[in-house]
Amino acid sequence: MTPLEGMAVAISFLAIWLTARRNMLCWSLNLVACALYFKLFLDVRLYADMALQAVFGLGILYGWIVWSRTRADTGAVVVKPLLRAKAVAGLAVGGLGALAIGWFTSRHTDATLPWLDATLSSFSLVAQYWTSRRHCENWLLWIAVDIVYVGMFVFKGLMLTAGLYAVMIGLAVIGYRDWRKAMSPD
């Protein structure tokens, strides 16, 4: 573990916990966590995940704006169900993105796990988009992605990050439960 990884883990944990609580402060902390993980993933040659952090930065800004504009009179962020057709479309885009990113990183970089890294990165983007759009189902996709991430980070020797992702699975379960309770019909 490096100090960089320790700082990234601590800030990420707090940011995800705040996201599960639908607290607006999650967005600024997620932005800081993205910057820290960008550098960490560059250092360990997980290029798809490094690029993912840059794209997440844009997604975080988008989510921050959407959440700011879509709060209930009480100030709470409104949760919306994900329509089946949009879920299928999102998963299809995730699959196509995995193929495209995997092909590129396997042929044009020295990435150590190009296909796995690409798949996790692509589906993480879908989950991030669903989070920004306030869909409760984002947590289900995060659970699936995070389970696989734990194994990849263990393999890469990023034990603290693997531990964070294991904890994030639990936070995603809590987020799903709480968001489902708060969901308003579309």
* Three-state helix/strand/coil letters over the chain: CCHHHHHHHHHHHHHHHHHHCCCCHHHHHHHHHHHHHHHHHHHCCCHHHHHHHHHHHHHHHHHHHHHHHCECCCCCECEECCCHHHHHHHHHHHHHHHHHHHHHHHHHCCCCCHHHHHHHHHHHHHHHHHHHCCECCHHHHHHHHHHHHHHHHHHCCCHHHHHHHHHHHHHHHHHHHHHHHHECCC
pLDDT score, position 96? 98
**What is the dihedral angle through the alpha carbons of 33, 132, 129, 5, rounded to the nearest 10 degrees?**
10
Residue 147: what residue type? Answer: I
pLDDT in tens, 48-62: 778 889 988 998 999
Output the six-digit token pair for 86: 């949009």
pLDDT score, position 78? 84
Entry pTM: 0.85
The structural domains of the chain, with segments of one domain joined by +, span 3-182
Name the burial class of residue 184, with classes exposed (0-12), middle (13-18) and buried (19+) by CB atoms within 10 angstroms of its CB.
exposed
**pLDDT 10s per residue in the chain (186 long)?**
789 989 998 999 999 999 988 898 999 999 999 999 999 989 988 777 788 899 889 989 998 898 888 777 777 778 988 999 999 999 999 999 999 999 999 999 888 899 999 999 899 999 999 999 999 999 999 999 999 999 999 998 889 889 989 999 999 999 999 999 987 554
